[in-house]
Every structure is written in structure tokens, then in C-alpha cells.
Amino acid sequence: MASQTIAILMPGDMGHAVGRALREHGHNVVTCLNDRGEHTRKLSALAGLTDVGSLDAVVEQSDLVLSILPPAAAVEQAKAVARELQSVERKPLYVDCNAISPETAKTIAAIINDAGAPFLDAGIIGLAPGKGAGPRIYVSGADTAPMLSLDGKGFSVVSIGEAVGNASALKMVYAGLTKGTWTLHTAVLLAAEKLGVMETLLEEFEMSQTAALAAMRARVPFLPADSDRWIGEMEEIASTLSQTGVTPDFHRGAADIFRLLAKTPLANETRQTMDTSRTLEEALQVFGKYVNQ
């Protein structure tokens, strides 16, 4: 399968890195940059992806389409691809790798299947390829073999059953912990800042919560760069938990924290341009200006 053509929709922070890894392992990797911003275009160029100019060309040329984009856009992306699938005889495999609820995954599966193409559910956990060991892509669906053939090509692929929704469910509960914890950290720190006890709280954390404080310093100052696209992910997690009977309110609150961070000027940064020297205290001073706005 070394000669297969794989499409990345879209080549953002994660997508371009996955595309680069696949290209470096011998695959022809294509994308469509119509209506995409300058940041996405730069990432695509860095990854060496081929812009084929239109979504219909992507569908016509690809053996496999990986959808990797903010979860709020996942359904519309699937609908756009499904429209193009109507006019091609050979249907590529569509793999939704987005942070969506199991029910959203099933909705997308129906859209793609109704257009005559096979579908796989997937969830990406871990840092983008090129950073450490690379992420794990969990997949579920009727035939996961095409994705399993990509195992070791910059990332690991793990099959977790035939049911569409399994992979998305795993992503939801995992991100419910990680991003949910980051937003909880942000919320309590912002409250301490507003209450005038920040300095004392950090001193106490130094003595009694050293691991938590280290995590706060490592993550909280840099959350704004991803905050806008993580709002939808928290909403999908809230929906997932609600479907199980577990309260969705933790992650509705997490979405509110990301909305706040998305209002700050720090949200204009990207992972490539963010000020990595910014301290936790400096970040909280900026965040605090946007509480209740």
C-alpha cells in the first residue's frame, strides 16, 4: 500500500504533521486549500502536501481521506465530501479523526455511507508526529485494516472494535480528563487572582501540590492559542457524558473557560508563534481582564 494516495482535510497543527509523516513513509499526500487561511497554507507547505485545487479532485484521487479539523466543522466537512462522492465510481475510505461524540460519529458515518463510501471512526491521542513517539490513533469500524496498515508511520494505530463510536468515546473521556483538568486549573487560578490570594495560593501549592503546580505552569499560560477550537470539543464531551447519564456541567464550564481565553489577545498566537517565556502569573493577569466580558 506504499503507493496509495491519502488526503488530509485539513492540514492544521495535527493534520499537517500526520500528512508529513505519511509522505515521509512513501505515500502521496494531497489536500485542498480552497478557503483556507494563511496559517494552514504555511503548514501544508512545510509538510510538503500537494494541493490538488478542489474537493472533487481530492475525492477522485484519494484512496483514503483523513478528516482532521476542529470538531464543530466535522459534520459539514463530511457533507461536503459526501456531495463529491456522488460523482465518483471508486469511493475512498473516509476516516473521521476528530474530537466528536459517539453520536456525532454515527451521524457522520451515515452521511458517508449513504454516499456509498466506507467509514471508520478514529480518535487521536497524544502529540503530533515529530514530537516524541508520536500519537496513537484509535480506530473502530467494520474493517480497520486500511488504517492498521499505517501503524508505525509516524504514529501508532490501535483497533478497538467494530462499533462506530468506540474510538470517539475513548477520545471524549480521555480529553475530558486532560483538557478538563487544564480548564479547572485556569478557573481556580483566575478566582484566586480576583480574590487577591494568588501569591499565597501559589506558595501553598509549592508546599502541598507541587505536581499540580508544575502542570499549571507548563500548560495554562499557553492555552489561548488552541482555545477557540477546543470550545467545540468541550461541547462534544458534555454531550457524550450527558448521553451516559453523567453530568455534562463540568465540561460546559470547561467550554466557558475556553471562550474566555479565546477573547484574549493571546488567542491570536499559534503554536509556532506563542511566547514560550510567558509565566503563569503574567498569563493570569491577561486572562483576568476578560472575566465577565
Domain 169-288 belongs to what architecture?
Orthogonal Bundle (1.10)
- Which string of DSSP letters, residue by residue, matches 197-241? -HHHHHHHHHHH-HHHHHHHHHHGGGTHHHHHHHHHHHHHHHHHH
Q: Is 119 helix (H, G, I), strand (E, B) or coil?
A: strand
Bin 54: left if φ > 0, else alpha if -120 < ψ < 50, else beta: beta
Q: What percent of the chain has pLDDT over 90?
A: 96
Q: What percent of the chain has pLDDT over 70?
A: 99
**pLDDT band at 225, cuts 50/70/90?**
very high
- pLDDT given for residue 43 in this prediction: 96
- pLDDT given for residue 118 in this prediction: 98
Peptide bond into 10 cis (omega under 30): yes
- pLDDT given for residue 1 in this prediction: 43
Q: What are phi and psi of 139, to 5 degrees?
A: -130, 150
Is the model's pLDDT at 131 over the cut of 90?
A: no
The span from the CA of 62 to the CA of 60, in Å, is 6
- 38-94 pLDDT, tens digit per residue, is 999 999 999 999 999 999 999 999 999 999 999 999 999 999 999 999 999 999 999
Where, residue-wise, is CATH 3.40.50.720 in the chain? 5-163
CB 84 within 8 A of CB 55: yes
CATH of 5-163, one of 3.40.50.720, 3.30.420.40, 3.30.2130.30, 3.90.199.10: 3.40.50.720
- 227-265 pLDDT, tens digit per residue, is 999 999 999 999 999 999 999 999 999 999 999 999 999
CA 5 to chain centre: 23
**pLDDT band at 132, cuts 50/70/90?**
confident
pTM for the structure as a whole: 0.95
Is the model's pLDDT at 2 over the cut of 60?
A: no
- pLDDT given for residue 7 in this prediction: 98
Where, residue-wise, is CATH 1.10.1040.10 in the chain? 169-288
- pLDDT given for residue 3 in this prediction: 61
Is the model's pLDDT at 136 over the cut of 70?
A: yes
Grid cell of 103 as nine digits: 453520536
Taking all residues of the chain, what is their mean pLDDT, rounded to a whole number? 96
**pLDDT band at 141, cuts 50/70/90?**
very high
- Which string of DSSP letters, residue by residue, matches 128-142? PTTSTT--EEEEESS
